[in-house]
Structure 1
Amino acid sequence: MTAETKNMVTWRSLNTALHDILDDTPEAFVLGEDITTWGTGGGIYGVTRGLLEKFGRDRVLDTPISEEVLLSAVSAAAARGTRPILEIMYSDFSFLGFDGIINQAAKARYMFGGQFDTPLVIRTNGGSGIGKAAQHSQSLETLFAHIPGLEVVVPGTPGDAYGLLRHAVTTDNPTIFLEHKNQYYDRGPVDFAPIPFGRARVAREGQHATVVATQQMLARSFAAAEELAADGIEIEIIDPRTLYPLDMDTIYASVGKTRHLVVGHEAVRDFGWGAEFVAQTVEAAWDKLDAAPIRVGGARTPIPYSPPLEEAVIPSKDDFVTAVRRSLA
């Protein structure tokens, strides 16, 4: 680490990013349900802690429990020249306001001929692992990535959480910023620099197979890498960091070296974003592959409340090990 780098947990890196954004960006403000009143005064995961005391109620707003209203309101506020950062308590609740996201924010620039932008950030969380059950644990990133006009961010480390959020508030497009609820206490280095969208990260160098994974699956792919390395198999791990814009060039370069591809995500495997990576690789780099790409994904079922069942329906370290071995067989 450099002198400017600190080890932080993810919720603290996000909290620091919000403090820095409000310091640096006068037109930015933060709003959401219970973001100043829950628990320690920082929302359910602590991310907005201390903002009210420093910036006041003109820039840090608790809101009514009405996602439909909130998501339409921030779209209008962004069109008027502000840069709202809205926290939706769980990504599952965004369904209540899909019109504001998909029919308003995502389409406004196009439908009005570029007369204004909608520079808003919708911060929320997804994923399983802490017993929140079927209506609070979904991985919805593919739904958002399918919509033209939205930028979709899936940070997998504390450093990426800080850097990608700092960049998110500078773009002129609506950004869906999907944190993972089981990673708020993950610890790692943060260097306090913005990270532009559309730049994947080579998280681990390897030569035998490329594994593309995000968030909780990124950690499991690292565990798989350790087991495979004991048998002389070195996998290269790519973290896309954003699903739109999507950096396929980094994937192609890695596949050109390893000639094998495994894509893994926690979301249901069927119709998931992993299929998009596979399709683009097959279309653009078919000659670089020595075997068919393999997808690893969640079971086609709601997330159970029972911890053993919850764990059973999402990919494990062993699933990644099996997929890599199958690709190399």
Structure 2
Amino acid sequence: MKMNSIKISFVTALFFLTSTVTFAQDFQGKAYYFSKTPMNLGAWGARLSEQQKKQVEDRLKNRLEKTYILTFNKTESIYKEDEKLDAISGATDTWGNNFSPGPLYKNVKTKTFVQDQEFYGKQFLIKEELQTLEWKIGTETKQIGNYTCFKATCKRTDFDVSWWNFSWDRLRNNYVENKSDSIKTADVAGLKSETLKEEIDMVEIEAWYTPMIPVSQGPDDYWGLPGLILEISVNNTTLLCSKIVMNPEEKIDIEAPDKGKEVTKKEYQEIISVKMQEMRDNRGRNSGRRP
């Protein structure tokens, strides 16, 4: 699939002839995105043969290449992964799902952010005010399918772009005092938000939006531009829209998730950090037992 290839299907060609009021009240759209993340095996990968690298790449394909669906109207949207079976095992990526973003609802009018996260069978509901992004809109343009797109950039903290994921480095760096690389579960459990260091690592975000679809929506929690975001690059991952369907025959109710324990992003990060450290400690104790 070419990166600049996008198929556009419409229920009716009269969509572009409708009034702004009708557009705002009655329409619904679905945008399909696919993600591409290069595989980086580091020093370990340098020791592998090309065949071994190919086997690893095939095994990690579900984590490196994903498909998402953004269902949107003028003010609301639901963004979620379109899960697919592993081509090798015939199963979904259960482990990877613990550290993937869950279904996300956002309302750009009320600035509502609600994300459904499941972590090892427990349901969480992350609720916060939708973060305002300080976009810098440029004059550079490019064509994505039938759409003329404009470039925009902004900066976000590393935490903001990956709070749902887990990193041992982040866990260590969150301590005001790091006495060793070994972190006790009791210490992690007692960690409070006020003791966390402010994230200072900034990530450059590059987006391409089209005013031809005048909604302030985009994939994930990106929004705030005068048109639908069709492409966005964050770190080494690029999300690109591959298909848009306006006014689909089967519409869905765009509603915020409402089941799960309500927490903030930082509270959720603390919860999964505690759990991962507990699992690590348990593995260490079990491996140390004599048969």
TM over 0.5: no
- Structure having the higher strand fraction is 2
Q: TM-score range by the shorter chain?
A: under 0.3
Choose between structure 1 and 2 for higher RCO, CA contacts under 8 A separated by at least 6 residues.
2
Larger radius of gyration: 2
TM-score, normalization by structure 1: 0.23
